[in-house]
């Protein structure tokens, strides 16, 4: 085997190991999670998953049901659903990503997926879901939140900016193959 292949494999193994460590650390942080009371917003339960999967399939052509199912098992405390008259109208999933910096250890959260039922869009459900979950993030010592949004999803971008998110940079292939999206962030003081 030549040196290029050995180097490539080593990099792949190191990246996989780093992701594994991040996931383990994130799981440990979720187990210590403090929940706050949120009217009509709750953590995911198995019985709610089919409705969440339906909403995801409506909203995302590149959605991953497997990923949602994995998060529903491993990150229940930070997988929120919002109801209107006992009907699921939206969801928001985060994962935790520990950050090491010169200032020490920080907890960062990343919004993996957020969507609202197409029949309930424009009524403030996504905003309320985000604001309530952000408050809970603050209570749990999260220092910043990241998300990725397709550059063409203007209504979502406007919502995120209204809440305080700012565009960090434009990236490709995160929102879908050959698709451009913005990485947006929200930092807490």
What per-residue confidence (pLDDT) applies to 79? 87
Q: How many other CB atoms sit within 10 Å of the CB of residue 142?
A: 21
What is the torsion angle, in degrees rounded to the nearest 10, for the CA atoms of residue 97, residue 40, residue 132 and residue 67? 20
Q: What angle (nearest 5°) sits at the alpha carbon of residue 112, between those of residues 16 and 92?
A: 150
Q: What's the total number of domains in the chain?
A: 1
Q: What is the CA radius of gyration of the chain?
A: 17
- Closest by alpha carbon to 96, among 15, 18, 27? 27
What per-residue confidence (pLDDT) applies to 14? 62
pLDDT along the chain (189 residues), means of 10: 68 61 56 74 88 87 77 80 92 84 80 92 93 90 92 94 96 85 90
Q: For residue 107, how far is the Cα from the chain centroid? A: 14
What per-residue confidence (pLDDT) applies to 21? 55
CATH code assigned at 98 = 3.40.630.30
What per-residue confidence (pLDDT) applies to 156? 93
Query: Containing domain of residue 120, as a range?
Result: 3-187
What per-residue confidence (pLDDT) applies to 26? 54
CA distance 131 to 92: 11
């Amino acid at each position: 085997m030549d040196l290029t292949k050995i180097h490539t494999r080593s990099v792949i193994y190191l990246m996989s190991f780093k992701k594994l460590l991040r996931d383990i650390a994130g799981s440990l942080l979720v187990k210590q999670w403090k929940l706050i009371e949120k009217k009509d917003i709750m953590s995911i339960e198995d019985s709610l998953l089919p409705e969440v999967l339906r909403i995801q399939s409506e909203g995302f052509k590149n959605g991953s049901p497997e990923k949602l199912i994995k998060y529903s098992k491993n990150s229940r405390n930070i997988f929120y659903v919002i109801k209107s008259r006992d009907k699921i109208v939206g969801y928001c999933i985060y994962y935790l990503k520990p950050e090491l910096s010169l200032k020490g250890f920080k907890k960062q959260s990343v919004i993996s997926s957020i969507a609202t039922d197409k029949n309930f869009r424009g009524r403030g459900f996504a905003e309320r879901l985000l604001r309530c979950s952000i408050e809970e993030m603050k209570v749990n010592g999260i220092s910043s939140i990241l998300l990725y949004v397709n550059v063409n999803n203007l209504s979502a971008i406007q919502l995120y900016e209204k809440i305080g998110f700012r565009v960090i940079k434009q990236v490709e292939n995160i929102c879908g193959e050959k698709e451009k999206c913005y990485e947006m962030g929200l930092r807490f003081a």
